[in-house]
């Protein structure tokens, strides 16, 4: 079992983990490095939330900031987030080593499903509506996250 877990984690780190290999996501997972921005499947995505770089003004240009924490409000990192449109169609899935995943989204309804890589926690899901202006914070709490 340890070898399989190590292999899955290694594939996730390489950004090549595919459908069905972790928590049932419906498409491939793309790695977004810490403090980096990427366009993944046509969606603008950022990964940040650690140290001074989280104050970088570029992050405020994203309409949605998904944050990961435990019940003690301590940030958690190393997560996979899958983004869906209102009809349930998967738009993208990304892995981030920081506690924030940011999305540039048009104002409409979406849903995210997220889980912590290598931790025995159930995925968290949340529906939301991206704002037309400003940035919304979506906080996903994992009770057993460490």
pLDDT number for residue 25? 53
Cα distance between residue 139 and residue 85, in whole Å: 19
pLDDT number for residue 24? 54
Domains of the chain, CATH where assigned? 2-141 (2.60.40.10)
**Residue 40 bridge partners (DSSP):** 43
pLDDT number for residue 136? 98
pLDDT number for residue 6? 36
CA–CA distance from 70 to each of 47, 61, 111, 120, 139 (Å)? 19, 26, 20, 13, 10
Mean pLDDT of successive 10-residue stretches along the chain, which has 146 residues: 37 39 66 97 97 94 97 96 97 98 98 94 96 98 84
Best CA proximity match to 146, nearest among 94, 83, 99: 99
Residues in the chain: 146
pTM: 0.82
């Amino acid at each position: 079992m340890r070898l399989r877990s190590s292999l899955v984690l290694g594939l996730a780190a390489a950004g090549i983990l595919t459908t069905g290999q972790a928590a049932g996501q419906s498409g491939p997972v793309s790695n977004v490095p810490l403090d980096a921005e990427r366009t993944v499947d046509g969606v603008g995505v950022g990964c940040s939330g650690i140290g001074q770089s989280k104050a970088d003004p570029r992050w405020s240009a994203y309409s949605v900031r998904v944050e990961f924490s435990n019940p003690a409000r301590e940030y958690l990192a190393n997560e996979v987030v899958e983004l869906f449109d209102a009809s349930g169609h998967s738009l993208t899935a990304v892995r981030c080593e920081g506690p924030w995943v940011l999305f540039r989204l048009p104002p409409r309804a979406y849903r995210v499903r997220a889980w912590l890589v290598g931790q025995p926690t159930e995925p968290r899901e949340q529906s939301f509506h991206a704002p037309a202006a400003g940035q919304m914070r979506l906080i996903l709490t994992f009770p057993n996250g460490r």
